[in-house]
Every structure is written in C-alpha cells, then in structure tokens.
C-alpha cells in the first residue's frame, strides 16, 4: 500500500525566484523520513512539490522528476487532483473546516469526492479517528464543531482527515510546531504507528524530534539568503546524528551553525 | 503643611489627578446651558446653531478643564473621545429625526386596507386607496433583479478571488469599480435606449434589468471581500485531500463565507429597493394592479411615493399616502437587514465546544 518516492533533479521556482535546486533523493516505503535545516532553505517547498501543492501558490512551478512507484507525478496527462489523493498532507497549523462537525471533517475527503454511502462513512470515520488516536476523546461529540477541540486534538483531527482517504504517502509540514510537548508526544507516537501503513515524510525544526521519529534524515541548507536551497545529505538518522559525512550537517546539528 | 500633604498622598509617578467619572456629562450639560444662553441673548433663531455652539463648547471645555486638572496628554485623549461622541451625535440626530418623522406621519393611513388596496379607482387628490399594486410591483421588480444580479455578482467575485489572474481579472475589477459609480438614472437610460430600439412599452422587467445593473457591482465587491477573508489554509487543506478546485470552492470556501455573502446581497437588495429614477423611466407607474412584470406598466414603492407627492397638487390625502408608503419601504428594508443578520449569525462558523 505504501509507495516509494524517487526524486531526481528537482528544481522549484516561485515566479522567477529559484527556491530549491537540483534535489535528488529516494524515500523508502513504510518508513519515516525527516527533513531538517534552517528556515527558508526550502524544506516545505520541497515537501509541497511531492503532492503538487507547490503549483497552488501563484507563480509556483517545478522542473525535474518525482516518481511515485515508477509513475512521474509531473508527467504529461497526470491530474494533480489524483496525485493529492495518493499523497496526503498535514499542515503546520491545525486547519479543520470551521463549518463542519468533527464527523464531517473526517468524512470531508471522501464526501467531497462524492462517492460514499452513509454506513461506509461511519466505518471510515471511526477507523480514521482510531488511527489518529482521537476516537476515545471525541466519540461522544462527533456532531460538535471541529474548531472546539484543543490545538493538539485539532491537529490529530487533521491527521485523521488526511488518512481517511487512504493515501499511499503522508506528508507532514512541521505538524507539532504549534503544539505543547504532551500533544507533540501524542503525535510522535501516532507517527510511529502510521508508518506501518504509510510512507511518511515530516518536516521539523526540532532535531530531537527528527532523531526520535525518523528512520532517515535529510539535511537541507542554503549557501546564502536569496540563494536556492539544496539537499546537503540524506542518510540513516542514526548516522546523521552521530557521524554525518558532511561538515555542515555536523555544525548544524551540534548548534555551531553560521 | 505642603510637606504633610505630600507625605499623605504618597507622590507616585503612576498616579495623577483625574477628573471624576461624571465630568463629561457635567461638561456636556454645562455647554448646552451656555449655548442656550448665548442663543437667547444673541437672538439666534436656529436650534441647529445652538446645537453646534454646544458641540464646540463641549470639545473646547473638555480640553480646557482636562488640561488644567489632568495635564495635556490626558486632555488630548479626552478631546479625541469627545470629538467621536460629537460626530456620533451629529450622525445619529438626522437618522432619528428621519425615522421619527416618517413613523409619526406614516402611521396616519397605514392599515390593512392601505396595504391590500390599489389606487385604481381613487383620484390622487382624494383620501382612500392603498399601495398593494406598488408592493407587488416592488417585490417583482426587486425579486427579478436579485435573481439576475446576485448570481452574476457572486460568480464574478468567485472568478476574481479564486481564478482571476493577469489582465482579464484586472480589467474586470476596473469595470466593476466603474459600475459602482454609475448613477441610477444612467442605468435606466441604458435600458431605455434598448427599449426604444425594440419599440417596447414600459414594463416591470425592464426596471429589473436596470436594477440588476445597479446591484451587480455592490454584490461583487462585498462577496469579494468575504471570499478574501476565507483563510488560504482551508483551501489548501481541501486541495491536499484530493478535492478538485471547483468542489473546494463549492463545499469549503462558500459555506465558510455564506453568512457574509448573504449580508452583502441583502444590503444590495436594500439599496435597489429604494431606486426611483430607473423605475420612473422604464416601468412608468400604474395605479392599477398589474401582476405581470413582463407586460404593461407597473408601480413600485419609491415611484409611488414620488408620484403621490408630485402629482397630487398639494392634497393632504396624497401626502399621507406618500408618508405611509415611505414607512412601508423603510420597514421592508429593515426587515431585509434583520433577515441578513439572522442568516449571518446562523451560518457563522461555529466555535462552541
């Protein structure tokens, strides 16, 4: 079910500004890959190119190849909408739909794609909420608005919403940066469970978090402000944090950055 | 003695002398009294002059007293506050006076008979008759104008906010701005020129077309603002679930902003409900009941008010009817506004637990 991502020679632009340049990497299925690096180095931009959300930004365009199990996401005739059904995304700030109840939020992906029956929806919603470790907290108030939950619960609601459509890959853009340590722990545990079923890519500023949750870690950096971000290296998380092969990575990780 | 006072008060840089809470009211009352005195002594006949003198005295007096007791910074603060209050009163007094006049003069003949009968067999100078035909005309013309204007306006706004890029969007925005400034009589003349080309007689739907032209830019503007308020994160969240863009707009963006859009449409309706000029040109007016907006002259409330006032040769009965019709029109617009507020509150994104 989970799929492998193969990126080769990927360059992304905002208008005429080159945000990231010539990135190539492989993301293994059923694993957690963490992206670390300073602000503005293009981690989030790169993440958004993996499900074609980058082009939603006005002026956003991409060169290069992203293969999802041998199929090029940027190939001719590929529908970005179907790509996003395969590659789900969780954002930095929890963003449940304010007009919808908790139930409707989780069902949104299926219902908005318009092909599910009521009984099926009930099952999918329960399964997804259980998958996001939120079921016990909300099962008695599924019809209440999702915006009434706490920040951590809202973020898990967003994860439930994303996994309800059964994507092959789950992208997470700093999912814990707006949360307290306890909610962060809940979501990190959840990531550990979800990697049994999905390929997970997570952007984080928290290096301990990268060390805790990920199997492989990629370090991004930029030469100077205004220069495009580049992939410095990607390796097993243990190796990156103990014995990285590039000096810049070691400097960044040990806090001797800049 | 002065040292004793100082030790008593414990001098503090954080605490200064301050005027008592009732001081603005006292200053206001004082300035009104002085203004009345000046008016009587100076022989100023206009009460408006009295009021303006009182307002100026209030602002100056506030500054003088506060500057003496509290210091210059607090005085400036109080002057700003009192200016806001004066401006508020200046704005509210005409409004209250207008509503009061309309209600007190309008209730004379406003009854069920008035609302359910037409002017068909009543001469303009005689008492009796009613506005049923005008209500029917107004409802039909405004309703048809809304059916045309609201969807076009909302769809234009969706285009501008969700899809519009480059020159086309810019020119659409420009023309919407230009349309906002079109005087209603010009919109009426535009439709009239079409009617003359096709040699048509006045009828209700022609008025609706002109009203729709007036309504569209208002709807576009307000809907645009409401759609811009929808956070981009919600659009991205929906797109990231693999929902197509049109469905995202239909199921996420519009429901989130539906309260504000409804309010905007209702306000646009309220605006065109009071338009007289295009109706005068295109619908012409008709003392009889005409239920068909597509054939024959119709009446409408603002047109009825104008014609009762203009064509009655000073008959009191006609003036009373004009005031009663005005009251009905104001009530109609107010009910629309209340409905809009109700819908906005009902549809607003819920935050409760």
**Nearest Cβ partner for A113 among B237, B242, B352:** B242
pLDDT of A16 over the 60 cut: yes
B22 and B100 assigned to the same domain: yes
Residue recorded with tokens 């209050």: B85
**A93 CB near a chain B CB, below 8 Å?**
yes
> Cβ separation of A147 and B231 shorter than 8 Å?
no
Strand (E) positions, chain B?
Answer: none
Is residue A120 within 8 Å of A152, Cβ to Cβ? Answer: no
A68 CB neighbours in chain B (<8 A) are none
Tokens describing residue B115: 């609302």
> Cβ separation of A56 and B236 shorter than 8 Å?
yes
Q: Mark which of B106, B131, B148 sits at the end of a domain.
A: B106
What is the average per-residue pLDDT within B123-134?
88
What is the average per-residue pLDDT within B252-277?
91
Tokens describing residue A16: 């005429």
Q: Give the Cα separation of B205 and B211 in Å (integer).
A: 10
B9: confidence class by pLDDT, cuts 50, 70, 90: low
Question: Exposure pattern of B64-83 as b/e (b: 16+ CB <10 Å)?
Answer: ebbbeebeeebbeebbeebe
B155 and B257 assigned to the same domain: yes
B134 and B277 assigned to the same domain: yes
pLDDT confidence of residue A1? 64
Whether B39 is in a domain gets the answer yes
What is the average per-residue pLDDT within A134-147?
90
Q: Give the Cα separation of B176 and B174 in Å (integer).
A: 5
The CATH number of residue B251's host domain is 1.10.3720.10
Q: Give the Cα separation of A230 and A232 in Å (integer).
A: 6
**Nearest Cβ partner for A147 among B240, B251, B351:** B351
B180 and B234 assigned to the same domain: yes
- CA-based nearest residue to A85, from A190, A156, A170: A170
> Cβ separation of A144 and B231 shorter than 8 Å?
no
Is residue B171 within 8 Å of B264, Cβ to Cβ? Answer: no
Q: pLDDT, tens digit, for every residue of A29-81?
A: 999 999 999 888 889 999 999 999 999 888 899 999 999 998 999 998 899 99
Whether B351 is in a domain gets the answer no
Nearest CA in chain B to A109: B241
A256: confidence class by pLDDT, cuts 50, 70, 90: confident
- Looking at chain B, the whole-number percentage of residues with pLDDT higher than 70 is 95
pLDDT of B2 over the 50 cut: no
Whether B111 is in a domain gets the answer no
A144 CB neighbours in chain B (<8 A) are 352-353
Is residue B138 within 8 Å of B297, Cβ to Cβ? Answer: no
A86 CB neighbours in chain B (<8 A) are 242
A147 CB neighbours in chain B (<8 A) are 349-351
> Cβ separation of A158 and B237 shorter than 8 Å?
yes
Residues 189-228 of A with CB under 8 A from B: none
**Nearest Cβ partner for A85 among B236, B242, B247:** B242
pLDDT of B156 over the 90 cut: yes
**Residues paired with residue A199 on neighbouring β-strands, in sequence order:** A169
Is residue A3 within 8 Å of A29, Cβ to Cβ? Answer: yes
> Cβ separation of B242 and A114 shorter than 8 Å?
no
**Residues paired with residue A27 on neighbouring β-strands, in sequence order:** A5
pLDDT confidence of residue B126? 84
Q: Give the Cα separation of A20 and B85 in Å (integer).
A: 56
Range of the domain at B73: 3-106
pLDDT confidence of residue B221? 95
Angstrom CA distances, A12 to A67, A83, B237, B266, stand at 16, 18, 21, 45
B80 and B158 assigned to the same domain: no
Burial of B187 (0-12, 13-18, 19+ CB in 10 A): buried
> Cβ separation of A93 and B353 shorter than 8 Å?
no
B23 and B169 assigned to the same domain: no
**A144 CB near a chain B CB, below 8 Å?**
yes
3-state SS of chain A: helix, strand, coil percent to 5?
40, 25, 35
Average pLDDT of the residues of chain B: 89
For B251: left if phi > 0, alpha if psi spans -120 to 50, otherwise beta; the answer is: alpha
- Looking at chain A, the whole-number percentage of residues with pLDDT higher than 90 is 58
B96 and B203 assigned to the same domain: no
B236 CB neighbours in chain A (<8 A) are 53, 56, 89, 91, 95
Nearest CA in chain A to B245: A81
CA distance A121 to chain B (A): 16
What is the average per-residue pLDDT within A178-188?
86
pLDDT of B270 over the 80 cut: yes
> Cβ separation of B242 and A91 shorter than 8 Å?
no
Strand (E) positions, chain A?
Answer: 5-14, 17-27, 32-36, 60-68, 71-72, 87-90, 169-173, 199-203, 216-222, 229-236
Tokens describing residue B249: 């707009």
Whether B352 is in a domain gets the answer no
Nearest CA in chain A to B165: A58
pLDDT confidence of residue B6? 45
A153 CB neighbours in chain B (<8 A) are none
- ipTM of the complex in this document: 0.89
Q: What distance separates the 2 farthest-apart alpha carbons in chain A?
A: 56
Q: pLDDT, tens digit, for every residue of B161-204?
A: 999 888 999 999 999 999 999 999 999 999 999 999 998 899 99
Q: pLDDT, tens digit, for every residue of B295-351?
A: 999 999 999 999 998 887 778 888 999 999 999 999 999 998 898 888 888 877 665
Whether B353 is in a domain gets the answer no
**A29 CB near a chain B CB, below 8 Å?**
no
> Cβ separation of B247 and A53 shorter than 8 Å?
no
Whether B125 is in a domain gets the answer yes
Burial of A109 (0-12, 13-18, 19+ CB in 10 A): buried
Q: Give the Cα separation of A158 and A147 in Å (integer).
A: 11
pLDDT of A26 over the 90 cut: yes
Whether B17 is in a domain gets the answer yes
Q: Mark which of B80, B106, B132 sits at the end of a domain.
A: B106
CA distance A113 to chain B (A): 6
CA distance A119 to chain B (A): 21
Whether B276 is in a domain gets the answer yes
| Sequence-ordered list of residues with C-beta below 8 angstroms from that of A100, at least 6 positions apart, any chain | A108, A145, A146
pLDDT of B55 over the 70 cut: yes
B17 and B38 assigned to the same domain: yes
Interface of B to A at Cβ within 8 Å reads: 165, 231, 233-244, 247-248, 251-252, 255-256, 347, 349-353
B91 and B123 assigned to the same domain: no
B165 and B185 assigned to the same domain: yes
CA distance B232 to chain A (A): 10
pLDDT of A257 over the 80 cut: no
pLDDT confidence of residue B47? 81
**Nearest Cβ partner for B242 among A93, A99, A165:** A165
> Cβ separation of B242 and A145 shorter than 8 Å?
no
Tally C-beta pairs within 8 A across A and B.
Answer: 92
Listed as own residue / partner, the contacts of A26-31 with beta carbons closer than 8 Å and 24 or more positions apart are A27/A169, A27/A199, A27/A201, A27/A216, A28/A4, A28/A199, A28/A215, A28/A216, A29/A2, A29/A3, A29/A4, A29/A199, A30/A2, A30/A195, A30/A196, A30/A197, A30/A198, A30/A199, A31/A195, A31/A199, A31/A200, A31/A215, A31/A216
pLDDT of B111 over the 50 cut: yes
B62 and B164 assigned to the same domain: no
CA distance A79 to chain B (A): 10
pLDDT of B34 over the 80 cut: yes
**Nearest Cβ partner for A84 among B233, B239, B247:** B239
- Give the count of domains, chain B: 2
Q: Mark which of B71, B106, B141 sits at the end of a domain.
A: B106
pLDDT confidence of residue B12? 63
B273 and B151 assigned to the same domain: yes
A93 CB neighbours in chain B (<8 A) are 233
Look at chain A and count its residues: 258
What is the average per-residue pLDDT within B102-127?
89
**Nearest Cβ partner for A162 among B236, B241, B248:** B241
């Amino acid at each position: 079910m989970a799929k492998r991502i193969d990126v080769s020679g990927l360059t992304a632009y905002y208008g005429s500004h080159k945000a990231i340049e010539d990135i190539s990497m492989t993301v293994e299925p059923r694993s957690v890959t963490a992206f670390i690096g300073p602000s503005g180095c293009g981690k989030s931009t790169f993440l958004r190119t993996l499900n074609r959300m980058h082009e939603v930004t006005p002026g956003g365009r991409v060169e290069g190849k992203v293969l999802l199990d041998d199929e090029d996401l940027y190939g001719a005739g590929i529908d970005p909408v179907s790509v996003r059904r395969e590659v789900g995304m969780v954002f930095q700030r929890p963003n449940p739909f304010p007009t919808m109840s908790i139930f409707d939020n989780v069902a949104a992906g299926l219902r908005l794609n318009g092909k599910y029956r009521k009984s099926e929806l009930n099952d999918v919603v329960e399964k997804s909420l259980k998958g996001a470790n939120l079921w016990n907290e909300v099962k008695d108030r599924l019809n209440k608005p999702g915006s009434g939950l706490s920040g951590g619960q809202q973020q898990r609601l967003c994860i439930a919403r994303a996994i309800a459509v059964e994507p092959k890959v789950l992208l997470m853009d700093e999912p814990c940066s707006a949360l307290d340590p306890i909610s962060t722990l809940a979501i990190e545990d959840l990531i550990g469970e979800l990697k049994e079923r999905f390929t997970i890519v997570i952007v984080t500023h928290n290096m301990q978090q990268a060390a805790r949750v990920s199997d492989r870690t990629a370090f991004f950096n930029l030469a100077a402000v205004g220069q495009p971000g580049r992939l410095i290296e990607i390796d097993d998380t243990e190796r990156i944090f103990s014995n990285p092969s590039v000096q810049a990575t070691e400097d960044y990780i040990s806090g001797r950055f800049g | 003695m002065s040292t004793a006072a100082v030790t008593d008060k414990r001098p503090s840089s954080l605490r200064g002398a301050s005027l008592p809470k009732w001081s603005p009211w006292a200053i206001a009352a004082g300035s009104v009294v002085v203004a009345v005195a000046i008016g009587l002594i100076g022989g100023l006949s206009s009460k408006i002059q009295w009021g303006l003198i009182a307002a100026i005295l209030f602002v100056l007096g506030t500054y003088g007293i506060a500057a003496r007791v509290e210091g210059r910074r607090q005085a400036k603060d109080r002057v700003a506050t009192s200016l806001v209050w004066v401006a508020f009163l200046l704005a509210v007094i005409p409004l209250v006076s207008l509503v009061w006049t309309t209600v007190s003069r309008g209730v004379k003949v406003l009854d069920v008979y008035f609302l359910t009968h037409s002017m068909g067999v009543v001469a303009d100078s005689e008492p009796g008759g009613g506005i049923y035909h005008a209500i029917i005309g107004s409802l039909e013309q405004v309703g048809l104008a809304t059916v045309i204007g609201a969807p076009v306006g909302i769809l234009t706004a969706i285009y501008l906010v969700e899809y519009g890029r480059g020159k086309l969007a810019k020119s659409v925005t420009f023309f919407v701005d230009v349309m906002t400034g079109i005087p209603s009589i010009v919109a009426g003349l535009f439709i009239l020129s079409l009617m003359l080309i096709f040699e048509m007689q006045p009828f209700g739907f022609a008025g609706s077309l002109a009203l729709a032209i007036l309504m569209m830019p208002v709807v576009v503007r307000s809907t645009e603002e409401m759609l811009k308020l929808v956070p981009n994160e919600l659009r991205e969240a929906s797109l990231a679930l693999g929902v197509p863009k049109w469905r995202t707009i239909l199921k996420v963006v519009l429901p989130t902003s539906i309260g504000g859009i409804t309010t905007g449409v209702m306000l646009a309706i309220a605006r065109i409900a009071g338009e007289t000029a295009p109706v005068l040109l295109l619908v012409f007016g008709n003392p009889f009941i005409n239920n068909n907006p597509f054939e024959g002259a119709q009446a409408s409330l603002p047109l009825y008010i104008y014609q009762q006032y203009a064509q009655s040769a000073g008959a009191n009965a006609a003036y009373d009817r004009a005031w009663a019709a005005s009251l009905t029109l104001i009530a109609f617009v107010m009910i629309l506004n209340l409905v809009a507020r109700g819908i906005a509150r009902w549809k607003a994104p819920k935050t409760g637990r």
